[in-house]
Amino acid sequence: MTHKINFDKVKSNLSISGQLRVIGQPMLSKKSAQIHSSPVRDLLKYSKEPGFISLAGGIPATDMIDVEGIDKVIHQLLSEEHRALFQYSVTEGESVLREAIAQWSQGYGVVFNSQELLITNGSQQGIDLLNRVFLEKDDIVLVERPTYLAALQLFNYTDARIEEFDYQGESIDLVALESKLAAGGVKMLYLIPNFANPTGRIIDDTLRVEIVKLAHKYQVVIVEDDPYGHLSFIDTQRRTFFTIAQELYGEDHTVCYMSSFSKIFSPGLRLGWLAMPKRFLMALTVVKQASDLHTSTLNQAIAARYITSGRIDERIALLKQTYRERRDALIAALERHLAGKITYNIPDGGMFLWCHLNQGVDASQLLAACIEEKVVFVPGAVFFAQDPEANALRLSYSMLGQQSADQAAERIARALDKIS
């Protein structure tokens, strides 16, 4: 079978901040008529086709989901009095889950009170709620260059202005960052500080302190998105922006912290949490109530019981070991088949390699050739708000074994030879 992908459509999707083509749906609002499907979503269909190897999805390994532990928890819950699990809940989230998260998080150096938590339908909803509460038309959101695609899509939907700040090597230029903040108009600073999607970067502790001070000085909300922080391959434990801000400014701080069970437990349960200064809680709760009333009562009970069972820490330890092995397998495969043709980072955690082809090679063109070879990845251009890097690509190793990693790299090498 010949597989084709519409690259005119993909390239139109890459335009995050520019003018988007109106697709001519007179019944839709102007904003909705401009919506395009995510390129990542479009590529996921290939992961379901026989013979394809996908390095595209930012998804946890299906074979690592603790089905036995989840089944045991569900059996326990349903063997007890459980009518309340099928009833409406409170918008903030069930107290048993909020308290379990607050207590469990302390073991990872993340300190907050359960009363500061809002349970969300995944951390993606957390970004959406923060958008609705804080952003208005032409407010400026500062993001790392590059950053999480779905966050860019949400920021664009609010008509906020997205501006990027770059790294100097592995460090943030604090002088340049302060210059942007001092110029005015910046409402939000969106950061993925641990093993970022797509780059795998870490923001070091010294920089975190200085960024918190700058945000407080200019009264900018920091959105700390931390879905990968538990998946560290090294022992170093970094303080969160949220914890640093509490220590420096008490309840007067401006950091909102988000995390999720999607990468460490079950993405299908759609459970995340959002910690914030208490003065923000009412506004965010009301917006969530208007959006979906509350997060699933049953799913919250499953997560709370799973945390208190102790299995979640055992599972995280296994995930870290497995993902490190899968990272190493992919790196070894790239060295065997693509040495001298591709460069990449070596992340200390998370799920991604951030790669660059030799100059002059377009990752979107390579993807078209790769689809013929039955392997897919995400072209890096989609992760930029402006001026995308055409030769960048993101490779996810979470679903790979040694054999599939080698096959994937070999197929990419064949595809690269075709377009070189």
C-alpha closest to that of 213 among 253, 165, 175: 253
As a whole number of angstroms, the distance between CA 86 and CA 236 comes to 41
pLDDT for the residue 42: 75
pLDDT for the residue 7: 47
Percentage of the chain surpassing pLDDT 70?
Answer: 92
pLDDT for the residue 6: 52
pLDDT band at 397 (very low <50, low <70, confident <90, very high): very high
Residue 89 near residue 297 (C-beta atoms within 8 A): yes
pLDDT for the residue 380: 97
C-alpha closest to that of 241 among 266, 216, 262, 260: 216
pLDDT for the residue 11: 45
For residue 349, give every residue at least 6 positions away whose Cβ sits within 8 Å of its Cβ, in sequence order, or none.
194, 195, 200, 202, 228, 229, 231, 232, 233, 234, 320, 323
Indicate whether this model's pTM tops 0.85: yes
User: Is the confidence at residue 2, as pLDDT, over 80?
Assistant: no
Residue, of 13 and 89, whose pLDDT is higher: 89
pLDDT for the residue 171: 87
Number of residues written out for the chain: 420
Count Cα neighbours of 219 within 13 Å in the Cβ-side half-sphere: 4
354 to 103, 260, 347: CA distances (angstroms) = 34, 22, 9
Query: Could you report the per-residue pLDDT of 20-56, keeping only the tens digit for each?
Result: 344 455 688 877 777 776 677 778 778 778 899 999 9
pLDDT band at 60 (very low <50, low <70, confident <90, very high): very high
Query: Could you report the per-residue pLDDT of 300-311, keeping only the tens digit for each?
Result: 999 999 999 999
pLDDT band at 14 (very low <50, low <70, confident <90, very high): very low
- Segment 331-346 shows an average pLDDT of 97
pLDDT for the residue 25: 57
- Segment 194-215 shows an average pLDDT of 97
- Segment 153-162 shows an average pLDDT of 91
pLDDT for the residue 33: 76
Which of 43-47, 104-108, 166-170, 289-293 has the least mean pLDDT?
A: 43-47
For residue 19, give every residue at least 6 positions away whose Cβ sits within 8 Å of its Cβ, in sequence order, or none.
none
Query: Could you report the per-residue pLDDT of 374-395, keeping only the tens digit for each?
Result: 999 999 999 999 999 999 999 9
Q: What are the structure tokens assigned to 333, written together?
A: 């495969």
pLDDT for the residue 70: 97
pLDDT for the residue 30: 78
What backbone phi and psi angles, to 5 degrees, belong to 365?
-65, -40
- Segment 172-189 shows an average pLDDT of 96
- Segment 325-331 shows an average pLDDT of 98
DSSP assignment, residue 357?
E
Mean pLDDT of the chain: 92
What backbone phi and psi angles, to 5 degrees, belong to 29?
-65, 160
Instruction: For residue 146, say if its preceding peptide bond is cis, omega within 30 degrees of 0.
Output: yes
Percentage of the chain surpassing pLDDT 90?
Answer: 83
**53 beta partners:** 375
Domains of the chain: 7-58+314-419 (3.90.1150.10), 67-309 (3.40.640.10)
pLDDT for the residue 409: 98
As a whole number of angstroms, the distance between CA 250 and CA 246 comes to 4
- Segment 240-253 shows an average pLDDT of 96
Query: What is the three-class DSSP state of 131?
Result: helix
Residue, of 87 and 3, whose pLDDT is higher: 87
